[in-house]
């Protein structure tokens, strides 16, 4: 299984594989960590986002789970999500409130993010028993229907979800772990994080099952499998 980070250096905020220009800029400025272009231009409100795999690797299963009424696939897919969540463990708070990204009412008979979160938490109870993760299903709600993000640009995605979420209940002082199925541009989880922080959450981390990849040029690194390595991901 190939994870997003196996391609090389990634952005420490959103886990986007870094292109050559981002790495060169960090070296020129002598900064400790290189950020991707998007995070340089508009730092996300969340502390860090991680993903379990690239979307292309799990696309058929995700499609079946979401659009073909096969919710049972959430259980095996949750193992991938759990591994992503564990990547946060070394620096994340010891106690976190787990919040799935909500669907608009009536869109689907089940919320795939909720199913993934439930199964992942069951796995983490044995693999990380000291990590206090508490599921809170209704901390967020969608206030309106949003168009599909699939064909929208980054700017259009941000406009599409702005104001589409609201906090219900009390998240003041909570460190939130936000769960979603796929991270594309990050517009949805960024908007969720924004409203959670505005409602008093102390921090928001993000874990998703998968991350949509984009074609970028990355710095060549010697491959263990041979003298040549891929330069585009």
Quick check: 219 and 23 in contact, CB under 8 A?
A: yes
Q: What does the pLDDT average to over 90-98?
A: 97
CA 142 to chain centre: 18
Percent composition of the chain: helix, strand, coil (DSSP 3-state, to 5): 35, 20, 45
**Across 74-88, average pLDDT:** 97
pLDDT value of position 220:
42
Q: Which two tokens stand for residue 124?
A: 């983490």
Strand order in the sheet with 48-54: 48-54, 203-211, 175-183, 95-100, 132-135
Q: What does the pLDDT read at residue 152?
A: 65
pLDDT of residue 34: 78
Question: Which residue's structure tokens are 């104001």?
Answer: 163
Q: Look at residue 231 and tell me if it is in a domain.
A: no
The DSSP string of 174-198 is: PEEEEEEEEESSSHHHHHHHHHHHH
Could you report the per-residue pLDDT of 34-48, keeping only the tens digit for each?
Answer: 788 888 888 999 999
Q: What is the pLDDT of residues 109-126, one digit of tens each?
A: 899 999 999 999 999 999
Kindly state whether residue 223 falls inside one of the protein's structural domains.
Answer: no
Determine the pLDDT at residue 87: 95
Tell me whether residue 229 is in a domain: no
80 falls within a domain: yes
Residue 182: the pLDDT is 94
Task: Please tell me what DSSP assigns to residue 102.
Answer: P
pTM of the shown model: 0.81
* Distance (Å) of CA 61 to CA 74, 111, 114, 138, 223: 9, 15, 16, 26, 29
In a domain, 232, yes or no: no
* Better-predicted residue by pLDDT, 96 or 28: 96
Report residue 1's pLDDT band, with 50, 70 and 90 as the boundaries.
very low
Phi, psi angles (nearest 5°) of residue 125? -65, -30
Report how far apart, in Å, the C-alpha atoms of 161 and of each of 33, 47, 66, 90 are: 29, 20, 19, 31
179-206 tens-digit pLDDT:
999 998 899 999 999 999 999 999 999 9
Q: 226 pLDDT band (50/70/90 cuts)? A: very low
Number of domains in the chain: 1
Residue 37 included in any domain: no
Q: Could you tell me the residue range of the domain that residue 65 belongs to?
A: 45-211
CATH number at residue 189: 3.40.50
């Amino acid at each position: 299984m190939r994870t997003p980070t196996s391609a090389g250096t990634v952005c420490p905020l959103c886990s986007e594989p870094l292109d050559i220009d981002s790495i060169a800029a960090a070296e020129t400025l002598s900064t400790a960590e290189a950020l991707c272009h998007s995070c340089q231009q508009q730092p996300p409100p969340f502390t860090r986002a991680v993903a379990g795999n690239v979307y292309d690797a799990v696309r058929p299963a995700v499609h079946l789970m979401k659009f073909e009424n096969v919710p049972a696939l959430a259980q095996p897919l949750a193992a991938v999500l759990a591994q992503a969540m564990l990547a946060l463990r070394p620096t994340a708070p010891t106690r976190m409130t787990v919040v799935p990204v909500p669907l608009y009412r009536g869109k689907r008979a089940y919320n795939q993010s909720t199913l993934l979160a439930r199964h992942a938490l069951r796995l983490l109870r044995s693999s990380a028993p000291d990590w206090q993760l508490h599921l809170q299903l209704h901390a967020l709600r969608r206030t309106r229907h949003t168009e599909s993000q699939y064909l929208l640009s980054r700017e259009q995605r941000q406009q599409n979800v702005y104001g589409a979420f609201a906090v219900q209940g009390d998240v003041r002082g909570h460190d939130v772990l936000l769960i979603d199925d796929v991270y594309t541009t990050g517009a949805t989880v960024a908007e969720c994080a924004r409203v959670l922080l505005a409602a008093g959450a102390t921090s928001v981390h993000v874990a998703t099952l998968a991350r949509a990849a984009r074609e970028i040029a990355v710095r060549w690194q010697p491959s263990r499998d041979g003298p040549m390595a891929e330069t585009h991901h």
